[in-house]
């Protein structure tokens, strides 16, 4: 008995055993924080073996300095886990290895990082400190270099890791976060790598016709040229203004007796306004909004779409307009390599591309020239372009109203109550108000140039600005005061959409459901132009019903339909079905699975269209 006790004591107090215990506690903390997973057996048999195997392999490869390897491994995991925590809080999804490629894009949210963390997050580094005396003790002992046991552990970890990884490949990867929770974080990376490498993700190769797509959304198909809006704005100049972080609730709303967007509100009299349109971007955010606008195809989702194209020509709104006599230009006061627009713009086919190399940077706000510099530059280019091209398509991407929305005092047009000072919501409203002012001045210039009356403008928001950990309890209170109800998913995901066409539209408001996927077909129908390739969206003026997918800011498998908003199960939350009008939980599960299946089918087919030469 004594001999057995001594042997057990030796195993338990063996340095490698203690190191693994510390690692297990670290992985458990990660699982609780990220996935709210408190299952001891799931962590022990699914999650822990792969992390432990990685350390074991490193120790077997390290001929010397094994203790340094252990310490560096724990330090590296601490840094990784902090990154995952911050990323999850801001984007509401667990990052994959794809997102490592986006580190160079961190400038876009660096001002927000300070708002994401809490002092408790740095407890992930506590083991890095605790392990030091353990290392010191064993390095002085006779067993300081005894890692023979690591080979035995490696066999066990390899078996457990191999089984859990193989089993993971038998499950569909619809939502990365949920998949990582169920099948292991590292295992989810292997599955993504496989699907990415062999191009198996969302590969539906059965052709769907325009009629099929209409019916999947619940509509009776009408040929494109027979729509009642076909050709209403034929031969007009086209201006598309994609407004950074503009959300629908800002339109026609006042704070402290002041309009948040007085210039956009004034444009409504010449507009058809859609107030029920949802963002559908993926990990590429603003660049994904540009992608959807110019292709009417869904974004990649897990990876920014710009990362999966190589700059080769693709069917696009730009190329179709060129075939019908339009000159085309795009303006964005940022580095062209940012979000790989140096590949996106050649793929779309613009005649003229203007970025921070051409747009003056005399006044910089945030991480780029202020929007007044952007619009001023557009105005300066139009005369020469109109001499060269009979009709112009101008794509304008604003920049200033980007998180963290910190505007210089001279550029703050709103007089907000004291409770809004130094709040995220207050900063956001000031940023939106500034950009609205610049849009108003730009419209005035178009009128002075005599081209406003012969133009069709599409103005819309690219994605939400108010989301994630930066939204404090105080911000929630302010939003409730502004909205008249608690801030919800509908408020977060809807973006304003104005089709401005003087003498055609006279202040109509449409509350039918739409998505960013619908912008291109709606615009082309107004122009009386047919597109050569498949479009996944439809003409918002024609169809009453819709079925929208969202791949990134809602769990995979979620959908938005006329009456309901369904969020699929995620890493931290069970599936939920909401009445879209009240945003209260709904028990009406009629045709729920059918809509899930139809949404996934549409997404899969969109991927097939994108990948087909």
Burial of 69 (0-12, 13-18, 19+ CB in 10 A): middle
Give per-residue pLDDT as tens, 503-534.
Answer: 999 999 999 999 999 999 999 999 999 999 99
Tokens 């101008």: give the residue.
394
CA atoms within 13 A on the CB side of 489: 22
Q: Confirm whether pTM is higher than 0.75.
A: yes
Q: What is the CB neighbour count within 10 angstroms for residue 132?
A: 12
Residue 112 has pLDDT above 70, yes or no: no
Residue 57 has pLDDT above 70, yes or no: yes
Q: Determine the Cα–Cα distance for residues 309 and 344; give it in Å rounded to an integer.
A: 7
What would be the CATH architecture of the domain defined by 210-611? Answer: 3-Layer(aba) Sandwich (3.40)
Q: State the distance between the two ends of the chain, measured CA to CA, in whole angstroms.
A: 73
Q: Are 263 and 440 in contact (CB under 8 A)?
A: yes
Give per-residue pLDDT as tens, 442-498.
Answer: 999 999 999 999 999 999 999 999 998 789 999 999 999 999 999 999 999 999 999
DSSP string of 338-366, one letter each residue: GGGHHHHHHHHT-SEEE-TTTS--SSEET
Asked whether residue 300 is marked as a ligand-binding residue, the answer is no
Q: Determine the Cα–Cα distance for residues 328 and 359; give it in Å rounded to an integer.
A: 17
Distances (CA, A) of 175 to 178, 182, 555: 6, 11, 5
Beta bridge partners, 274, equal: 497, 510
Asked whether residue 303 is marked as a ligand-binding residue, the answer is no
Instruction: Indicate if the alpha-carbon torsion angle 174, 180, 186, 187 is positive or negative.
Output: negative
> Which uninterrupted H or E stretch holds 388?
helix 371-388
Q: Considering only residues 230 and 201, tell me which one the structure prediction assigns the higher pLDDT.
A: 230
Residue (of 135, 121, 13) closest to 73 by Cα position: 135
Give per-residue pLDDT as tens, 242-273.
Answer: 999 999 999 999 999 999 999 999 999 999 99
Per DSSP, helices labelled H in 470-531 are 473-483, 489-493, 519-527
Q: Are 119 and 21 in contact (CB under 8 A)?
A: no
Domain residue spans of the chain:
2-197, 210-611
Residue 272: per-residue pLDDT: 98
Q: Could you list the active site residues?
A: 286
Considering only CA atoms, give the Rg of the chain.
27
Residue 202: per-residue pLDDT: 47
Asked whether residue 286 is marked as a ligand-binding residue, the answer is yes
3-state SS record for 432-477: HHHHHHHHHHHHHHHHHHCCHHHEEEEEEECCCCCCCCCCCHHHHH
Q: Are 54 and 138 in contact (CB under 8 A)?
A: no
User: Is 494 in a helix, a strand, or coil?
Assistant: strand
Residues 6+ apart with CB under 8 A from 282: 288, 298, 299, 300, 301, 302, 303, 304, 305, 551, 552
Asked whether residue 402 is marked as a ligand-binding residue, the answer is yes
Q: Considering only residues 155 and 21, tell me which one the structure prediction assigns the higher pLDDT.
A: 21
Asked whether residue 463 is marked as a ligand-binding residue, the answer is yes
- Say what angle helices 126-140 and 15-35 make with each other, to 10 degrees: 170
Residue 2: per-residue pLDDT: 46
């Amino acid at each position: 008995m004594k001999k057995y006790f001594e042997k057990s004591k030796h195993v338990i107090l063996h340095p490698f055993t203690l190191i693994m215990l510390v690692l297990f506690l670290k992985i458990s903390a990660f699982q609780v924080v990220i996935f709210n997973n408190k299952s001891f057996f799931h962590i022990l048999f699914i999650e822990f073996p792969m992390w432990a195997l990685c350390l074991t392999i490193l120790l077997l490869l390290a001929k010397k300095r094994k203790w340094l390897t252990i310490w560096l491994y724990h330090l590296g995991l601490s840094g990784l886990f902090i990154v995952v925590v911050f990323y999850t809080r801001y984007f509401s999804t667990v990052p994959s290895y794809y997102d490592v490629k986006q580190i160079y894009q961190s400038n876009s949210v660096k001002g927000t990082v300070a708002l994401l963390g809490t002092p408790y997050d740095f407890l992930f580094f506590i083991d890095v400190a605790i392990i030091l005396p353990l290392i010191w003790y064993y390095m002085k002992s006779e067993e300081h270099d005894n890692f023979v046991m690591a080979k035995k552990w490696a066999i066990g970890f390899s078996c457990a890791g191999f089984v859990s990884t193989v089993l993971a490949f038998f499950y569909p990867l619809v939502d990365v976060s949920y998949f990582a929770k169920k099948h292991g974080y590292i295992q989810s990376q292997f599955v993504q790598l496989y699907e990415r490498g062999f191009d198996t993700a969302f590969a539906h190769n059965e052709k769907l016709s325009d009629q099929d797509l209409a019916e999947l959304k619940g509509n009776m198909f009408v040929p494109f040229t027979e729509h009642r809006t076909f050709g209403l704005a034929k031969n007009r100049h086209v201006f598309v203004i994609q407004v950074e972080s503009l959300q629908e609730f800002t339109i026609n709303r006042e704070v402290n007796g002041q309009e948040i967007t007085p210039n956009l509100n004034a444009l409504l009299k010449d507009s058809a306004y859609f107030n029920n349109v949802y963002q559908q971007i993926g990990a590429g955010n603003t660049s994904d909004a540009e992608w959807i606008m110019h292709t009417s195809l869904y974004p990649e989702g897990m990876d920014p779409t710009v990362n999966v194209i190589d700059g080769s020509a693709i069917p696009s709104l730009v190329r179709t307009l060129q075939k019908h006599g339009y000159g085309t230009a795009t303006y964005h006061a940022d580095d062209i390599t940012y979000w790989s627009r140096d590949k996106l713009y050649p793929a779309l086919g613009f005649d003229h591309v203007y970025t921070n190399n051409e747009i003056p940077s005399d006044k910089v706000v945030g991480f780029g020239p202020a929007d007044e510099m952007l619009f001023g530059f557009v105005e300066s280019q139009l005369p020469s372009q109109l001499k060269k091209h009979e009709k112009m398509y101008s794509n304008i991407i604003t920049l200033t109203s980007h998180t963290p929305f910190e505007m210089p005092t001279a550029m703050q047009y709103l007089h907000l109550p004291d409770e809004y000072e130094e709040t995220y919501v207050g900063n956001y409203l000031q940023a939106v108000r500034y950009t609205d002012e610049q849009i108003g001045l730009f419209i005035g210039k178009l009128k002075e140039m005599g081209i406003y009356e012969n133009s069709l403008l599409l103005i819309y928001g690219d994605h939400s600005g108010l989301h994630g950990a930066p939204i404090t309890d105080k911000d929630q209170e302010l939003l409730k005061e502004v909205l008249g109800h608690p801030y919800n998913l509908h408020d977060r995901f809807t973006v304003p959409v104005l089709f401005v066409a003087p003498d055609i539209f006279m202040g109509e408001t449409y509350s039918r459901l739409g998505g960013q996927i619908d912008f291109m077909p709606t615009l082309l129908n107004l122009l009386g132009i047919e597109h050569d390739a498949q479009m996944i969206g439809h003409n918002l003026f024609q169809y009453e019903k819709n079925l929208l997918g969202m791949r990134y800011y809602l769990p995979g498998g979620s959908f938005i339909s006329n009456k309901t908003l369904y969020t699929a199960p995620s890493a931290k939350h069970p599936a939920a079905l909401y009445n879209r009008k009240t945003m209260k939980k709904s028990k009406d599960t009629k045709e729920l699975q059918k809509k899930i299946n139809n949404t996934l089918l549409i997404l899969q087919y969109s991927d097939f269209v994108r990948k087909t030469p």
